[in-house]
Structure 1
Amino acid sequence: MKDSTKIIFLLISLILISSCGKQITETKPIRKNVTETIFASGILVPEDQYNLTSISEGYIKKLNFKEGDIVTTNQLLAVVDNKQNVINAKKSVDLLAIAIANTNLNAPALKQAEVNLELAKQKLLQDQKQTERYKKLYKLNSVSKLEYENIILNLDNSKTNFLSLQENYKLLKQQADQELIIQQSHKKTNLALENYNKIKAIVGGKVYELKKELGDYIRKGDVIAVIGNPEKLYALLSVDESNISKVKLQQQVIIQLNTQLKKNYKGKVTEIYPAFDKQTQSFYCKIEFEDILNFKISGTQLQGNIIIENKNNTLVIPRNYLGYSNKVKLKGGDEIAVEIGFISNDWVEIIHGLDENTVIIADKTK
């Protein structure tokens, strides 16, 4: 009997303990003027931000800036020790000088071709005179037909030789001119490659991040630094793929920096990037500030609420009254599924399933 009493007392104690941990609260749906928003996190990004990239390969032998510096357009920021580019540039200058000399009329090849052409011309003139003389002699029967035909053959050979040397001279001149053009192009290319050893700022701005140090070996395409506009920054928000279809250009956004959680900044959506980030399963939106931003550090984390729609006289319930699978508990213990609209941090829009007279309950842990 005593054992039975102990068991009953233990069960009653467990029920009391369990009931002390929870209390049932009840409410009814109400109508409110509410604002539908989409929450998104992001960071501050400088306007016109770009990566200062190496287009040469070698060791960094000069580094003329540090993080936080303000640099100007075309300012020399770093020098890469690429000796091959220097050697090629010097070689192209020397080859160009030779090419220029070869186009001169006194160049050895052209001079020799000109001499050969002049000799062929004199030979042609001499053979022409000889042919005229033999022609007269042949009419007087002073030379044989064979002798006359041989003289004519010599004249034809002289003409052919003269024309051939004339074309050869033109060809040599043309080749010399072509080589000059080629070497001029090589010089420009190699001087440009040598100039690639000097890394300059494409656009002026602030150095937000330095990724390489003096003496580092870099390859073509390596990022040396990140540069951007020091005065104008924007918010880059990551919007979930399920909500991106609701976001439109020019929508208002309320932004809070993690460094200034008590301050709200107004902004607006100015760009929705088409690329989808598979890693975060989200899209990116650019938000330009309408208020003056008094904290301008790139990479600062932030959160934004994109205002989608202001709704008047909307039926809502507190969010903690909505259960799994969009179900709510009625007073009496029954559960029903409801059709919902937007969900905010505090409220859930009820489209169908409840009215203002329906009493719903929720368990609230003490």
Structure 2
Amino acid sequence: MKFMPYFAVHKEYILPMKIVFLLSTLLCISCGSKQERTLPIVKKLTESVYASVTIQPDSLYEAYAIVNGILERNLVEEGALVHKNTPLAHITNSSSALNAENARLSLQLTASNYQGNSTVLKELQEDIETARLTFTNDSINYKRQENLWRQHIGSKIAYETRKLAYQRSKNQLNVLDNKFNRTRKELQTQVKQAQNTYKNSQITTGEYTITSKINGKVYALYKNRGEIVTTMEALALVGSTSNFVIELLVDEVDIVKIEKGQKALVSLDAYADRVFEAVVTKIYPQKDSRSQTFKVEALFIKTPEKLYPGLSGEGNIVIYEKSDALIVPKEYIVNGNSVVTDDGLKTVEIGLQNLNEVEITKGITTTTELLKPE
């Protein structure tokens, strides 16, 4: 009896043997791995927009000097409570003091000239009195000579001489009167200009003391005594003591979903395991080109016990809430609009969604068993 070698098996048996081997391999694989399954559930679903959070005091602003100088001293300490117009710092500048003194002396001089106690107006008044006496005398002599000339008494030369003296003294009196009025007006203008200059120097001197614009707290002082102060550098940071604003940075793809009055859930690193409710109060329309985000402001419904500028955390702005949504885990969604069932892929319609869950509005029910995609 002859036996054929293994490699000499007839070719019609090779294909069925391959199929059997493949089926047995698939059966082993399926037996060794059990695919995860789940059923959709009905529950409340909240759709929200994520945002990074920074806490800042309300009315926070940086105090600047509007003049240059040297910081003589800070008049308050960091953390001090201040009222509106409370002095914060004082700057020195010797030139401003000299300018103020010069303006005061100039005002005194021009005021004295205007009041007539100086030689300027006094001399003019004396000249006018002299010219008036001369005019009166020349007028009398002219009238007398005119009457004599009408009576053909005296010479024509004497008459014309008296007339010329009368006209000359009259013109001289008019010139002096006009000069006096013009000089008085000029001195009056100089007094007003000197008053304005002096007031301006007083204002400028006052500007060397930086004051608070609000009732609040001094959160920072940026300069020390003796340092140079310019109009381009802030001297202090002042803000509210009790009212704080939540600044949320929202990605540009989500900003169109944000509206005033929406609720925000805020968690702060300083308050672990606590969530604070807030309300959106302001949306800034300008995008930050560096971070590609928009700034949104919100206010606490109940403010935490202690807050400091710069506290950070995370926030979720609630866009929509639904109490009876049909929910499936997000990892069970295939291609954005399908789920895997025992009958194969099934197309569904997506509703609300958050980071982990998706609402199904059409296509399956609570009894549809879903397979987790591998």
TM-score (norm 1): 0.83
Letter in structure 2 aligned against 1:355: I
Cα drift, residue 37 of structure 1: 1.8
Partner of 1:267: 278
Q: Could you tell me which of 86, 96, 99 is aligned with 1:88?
A: 99
What secondary structure, in the 3-state scheme, does the structure 1 residue paired with 2:139 have?
helix
Letter in structure 2 aligned against 1:118: E
Partner of 2:331: 320
Letter in structure 1 aligned against 2:231: K
Summarize deviations over 1:217-258 as a string: whole Å, max 9, x none. 120142111111122212111222332232222222221111
| Superposed counterparts of 1:1-366, under 5 Å | 24-27=35-38, 30-145=41-156, 147-322=158-333, 326=336, 328=338, 330-331=340-341, 340-350=350-360, 354-356=363-365, 361-363=371-373
> Aligned in 2, Cα 1:334/1:91: closer, same or farther, shift over 3 Å?
farther
C-alpha contact 1:328 1:360 (8 A) present in aligned 2: no
Letter in structure 2 aligned against 1:248: E
> Aligned in 2, Cα 1:307/1:117: closer, same or farther, shift over 3 Å?
same
Cα drift, residue 132 of structure 1: 0.5
What secondary structure, in the 3-state scheme, does the structure 1 residue paired with 2:152 have?
coil
C-alpha contact 1:255 1:265 (8 A) present in aligned 2: yes
> Comparing 333-342 with 160-169, which one deviates more in the overlay?
333-342
C-alpha contact 2:339 2:348 (8 A) present in aligned 1: no
Cα drift, residue 341 of structure 1: 4.7
> Aligned in 2, Cα 1:87/1:339: closer, same or farther, shift over 3 Å?
farther
TM-score (norm 2): 0.81
Distance 2:347 2:126 in 1: 106
Distance 1:187 1:26 in 2: 88
> Aligned in 2, Cα 1:125/1:327: closer, same or farther, shift over 3 Å?
same
Measured on the aligned residues, the alpha-carbon RMSD in Å equals 3.0
Cα drift, residue 162 of structure 1: 1.4
Stretches of structure 2 that go unaligned for 5 or more consecutive residues are 1-25
Distance 1:338 1:143 in 2: 136
Stretches of structure 1 that go unaligned for 5 or more consecutive residues are 1-14
Cα drift, residue 329 of structure 1: 5.7
C-alpha contact 1:23 1:363 (8 A) present in aligned 2: no
> Comparing 27-36 with 266-275, which one deviates more in the overlay?
27-36
What secondary structure, in the 3-state scheme, does the structure 1 residue paired with 2:84 have?
coil
Letter in structure 1 aligned against 2:354: S
Cα drift, residue 56 of structure 1: 2.1
> Aligned in 2, Cα 1:139/1:255: closer, same or farther, shift over 3 Å?
same
Distance 1:151 1:222 in 2: 79
Distance 1:328 1:216 in 2: 68
Partner of 1:11: none
Cα drift, residue 45 of structure 1: 1.0
Summarize deviations over 1:114-173 as a string: whole Å, max 9, x none. 111112211221221122112111101224445434433433332222122112111111
Q: How many residues align?
A: 345
Summarize deviations over 1:273-299 as a string: whole Å, max 9, x none. 333322222222221111132121111
Cα drift, residue 95 of structure 1: 1.2
Q: Which has the larger radius of gyration?
A: 2
> Aligned in 2, Cα 1:143/1:28: closer, same or farther, shift over 3 Å?
farther
